Structure 1
Amino acid sequence: MSKPIIAIVGRPNVGKSMLFNKIIGRRLSIVEDTPGVTRDRIYGESDWQGRKFTLIDTGGIEPRTDNQILAFMRSQAQIAIDNATVIVFLCDIKTGMTASDQEVASMLQRCGKPVILAVNKVDQGRSPDIYEFYNLGLGDPIAVSAVHGHGTGDLLDACVQYFPPEDEEEEEDDAIKVAVIGKPNAGKSSLVNQILGEERVIVSNVAGTTRDAIDSRFTNDKGSFVFIDTAGMRKKSKIEEDIEKYSVLRATMAIDRADVCLIMIDATEGVTEQDTKVAGMAHEAGKASIIVVNKWDLVEKDDKTMARMTEEIRRDLAYMTYAPILFISAKTGQRV
């Protein structure tokens, strides 16, 4: 069995990402006072009482919504719940118990996993307002302050009680880390999903859907791999929101962590100035790289199209002669 997994779930803006960052001790998850900032599941590693575990930060669960992105977030949170050893359900004492909290609680009661109820933003002692959360039917609420770190030890103590015995865990293996990089909408998430055979990462035509770097483990007869799907890197001038800045930083960190970089190029657009910048980052970091030309199924072709495009790539990315070029369709699975 792999390391125990703790999933943090709850409705938007209760402080899940802040708590996640406090527990893993670094700013891995984007924290911004904008509902819906964490769209995918973010993974981090930490330990408590000598036990290593994986922590998952999920997008806020909106039980009923017609919004496409919010619906995706809900399904991503469900996948996290399905994979978790123990679930931390985070509520917010400032807004009190809401109808959405009650709906999420009933969803969690049906999942058959241990659920620990935590109430965030309790900054001094145990507020009497915490008692209303007993109505969720999930036992004693644990008061925490994600900002100050109060109560996080009690919370982790409660989580560790549900971990399987240590002898059931295996040592972390030497998986090959693969960063999937490129400009927005080149098909990075689609490729990861095609390889994994599950909707692991949100795929949408909305540019900027993947805001963080997302890790996915995959094993086959070739070995064990961790695919890091990164936010698409845009030109600096287009980066207006702080959130975008963090995403580019995260992609840079993903390149640093990777053994191999897959540089995704959109076949319908050819090599753009942004592609040369993204490829340059991998090259300067000294990473083994593969140039992946995606959406090949959408290109009108004759017997010389592939040769022409190969020549164009070799010219525009002249410094990367060592990188093989593959023409694929992440959507259909062609040559994946």
Structure 2
Amino acid sequence: MTHQRILIATEAWHPQVNGVVRTLDTTVRTLRGWGHVVDVLEPSSFWTIPVPFYPEIRVCLPRPGRVYDRIRRFRPDDVHISTEGPLGRLVRRYCLNRGWRFSTSYHTRFPEYLAELARVPERWSYHVLRQFHNRAGALMVATPSLQLELKARGFTAPMCRWSRGVDLTLFRPHPHPHGDSPYPRPVLLYVGRVSAEKGIEDFLRLSTPGTKVVVGDGPARADLERRYPAAKFLGYRKGEALAACYAMADLFVFPSKTDTFGLVTIEALACGVPVAAYPVTGPKDIITHDALGALDHDLGAAVERALRTGNRAACIAEGRSYTWENCTRQFLENLVPVRG
């Protein structure tokens, strides 16, 4: 294998806790394990300010000279721009000014998020994103349905698949199905940011038997915890503590209509937990038959059906088909040399 010098620019990085960070971090560690030299250009080296309506996310405000000097000194063979913020835009400008090719990826539905949180019209945001991505030599997307959706919205860059993976040493079936739970069953689990754009209130307002458990944190947590006192809010969990939450669940509920994949859904499957979700991009690419759970525009109906039809063995087999090695191999094959 020829070892490559790969520059990855991203505003999504530690200490943020989300699927994008987990995907990038695992991809970088896997690439380095294979002998590639990877430089991650991320916000910790620059001045940042919190997003006004989402303070746990910080916007990077880098000085162009520092960014350009970092790229020059690294001398990359490949450049991948993972996010569309100020840092990604500076790296994109550097590449375009020198006639370099680069790849990008579409992780987050910022138009829908901005419409939900700040009332910014979606058409404005999509116009900006088309301008950003359409100059890329390759645009990496997680699922076939997302690729079709972006093409319909006027994205013209060559698109290629970059799926997601599961740490199968961590997210694994519990020796005793559903693990140990201190809560009345069925245990319905949500894992992710606790924020309006994630649709979590659709989950919390369901009149279903059992216990709703929320793992994660975010700007909406205090209000939702006050209004839904029967739900159990556990805050962030990681590692074995997160895996234990999956293991105790009877069902994983994914109420988001704005995610592009939903890494948490395949983690749940790998633990043998079926999934209930809306039939939208992400879930409809993963939950492809009843043994894995159920999709319905009525989330309550999806929950009821998934509890009835979900099959633990089928979920485990499906979850184990998503490996970080395959994911990273896709990423590597999708890169475009800066001098093509």
Relative to its length, the structure with more strand (as a share) is: 1
Higher relative contact order (CA 8 A, sep 6+): 2
Larger radius of gyration, structure 1 or 2?
A: 1
TM over 0.5: no
Q: What is the TM-score with the length of structure 2 in the denominator?
A: 0.29
Q: What is the TM-score with the length of structure 1 in the denominator?
A: 0.29
